[in-house]
């Protein structure tokens, strides 16, 4: 996947993660990095896989984090 395609895809997917609290913005940041990495490794990987990994990462520091 070309860089331009990757950027467009991740930007579009990130629109489904609302901006909001500090923790929610941290989730967006983790998702962005993880999704870019995941797509570079496997372009067919569903977005949900990257999202779940990002949520798990946030919960390591904030166990009470609720993804909205």
In sequence order, what DSSP letters do the residues of the chain get, joined into one string? --HHHHHHHHHHHHTTS---SHHHHHHHHHHHHHHHHHHHH-TTS-HHHHHHHHHHHHHHH-TT----
Instruction: Single out the residue of 57, 53, 55 nearest to residue 66, CA to CA.
Output: 55
Domain span at 38: 3-61
Band of pLDDT at residue 21, cut at 50, 70 and 90 = confident
- Residue 1's pLDDT band, with cuts at 50, 70 and 90, is confident
> What pLDDT score does 51 carry?
96
Q: Assess if residue 36 is contained within a domain.
A: yes
Q: What is the pLDDT of residue 15?
A: 92
The structural domain count of the chain equals 1
Mean pLDDT (whole number) for 11-40? 93
Tell me: the pLDDT tens digits for 29-68?
Answer: 999 999 999 999 999 999 999 999 999 999 999 999 887 6
67 domain-assigned: no
Question: Would you state the pLDDT for residue 66?
Answer: 81
């Amino acid at each position: 996947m070309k860089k331009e395609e990757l950027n467009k895809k991740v930007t579009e997917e990130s629109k489904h993660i609302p901006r909001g609290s500090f923790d929610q913005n941290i989730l967006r940041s983790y998702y962005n990095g993880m999704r870019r990495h995941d797509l570079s490794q496997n372009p067919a990987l569903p977005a949900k896989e990257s999202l779940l990994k990002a949520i798990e990462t946030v919960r390591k520091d904030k166990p009470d984090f609720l993804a909205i």
